[in-house]
Amino acid sequence: MMAFKPRFINVRGNLVDLSLPKVMGIINVTPDSFYTESRVSTEEGILRTASKMIEDGVDFIDIGGYSSRPGAANIPPDEERSRVVNAMKIVSREFPDAVISIDTFRSEIAMEAILEYGASIINDISGGEADKKMFSVVEKLQVPYIMMHMQGIPGTMQKNPVYDDVVADILKWFGERIIRLQSMGVRDIIIDPGFGFGKRAEHNFDMLRRLGDFAIAGLPLLVGFSRKSMIWKTLGITPLEALNGTSVLNTVALMNGADILRVHDVKEAVQAVKLVEEIKNSSK
């Protein structure tokens, strides 16, 4: 039996209805993210990117200052902080109604982003593993928390990842942490299986094929495979050429129960949501 999934998440006192899937746009304030077109650092670049996303219908803007591509180098907290704080200040100032997500695994940066710089959601690629204080921060702040699964760390995660059953193993991992968070009173949890994070291509496609199984967790589901190697390596192209492949996988994910798409290309994702909703509504 499919578990009941919450229809709403509470974002700063506003209920966001997830019965219509949402689109999260990516702003990478980094010099080394895998998709070069997503990198921005100047005020002009940040404003241009955020403005286009909002014009294209984005629901959330995810700002990150730490590259999590395979083999990425570690950077100190102060460097990550300076990158994301500047970007959040700019977006909050120019677009005060924008819903900002802070993409970080560091609890102190998450707390500052929420309390001081206008963020409303925490997106943690480590699911609380990299910083054991993160769950306590989420408990204190009571903001939506995106908990992603990653096997290993960005620098080494693609070195021979192994699973007995990728979906079952990840669901077990989520289950342990969901119970802990809910026992702490955390209400708005979103799960992300972590496509490309400590998974080989066959793991990624198996997860996508069985994406509906994650509904057993009874929580909103975010997916992110925008322009990732599972697309461009499979097709023998580059990340720059992977928009069509991204749209295909986004469509499959929406048909299989995804609630949030995390993407570089907002316009195309919004179009995918609209078309899939038309398909679903035509059968009612």
Active-site annotation, residues: 228, 262
Please classify residue 244 by burial: count the beta carbons closer than 10 Å to its beta carbon, then call 0-12 exposed, 13-18 middle and 19+ buried: exposed
CA dist 52 and 55 (Å) reads: 5
Decide: 128 and 110 in contact? Cβ < 8 Å.
no
Paired with 186 in beta bridges are none
Q: Which of 279, 250, 278 is closest to 264 using CA atoms? A: 250
How far apart are alpha carbons 240 and 69 in whole angstroms? 16
Cα distance between residue 257 and residue 212, in whole Å = 6
Q: For the chain, how big is the Rg over CA atoms in Å?
A: 17
* Cα 9 → chain centroid: 15
Question: And the tokens for 97?
Answer: 């109604």
Distance in angstroms (rounded) separating the CA atoms of residues 105 and 127: 8
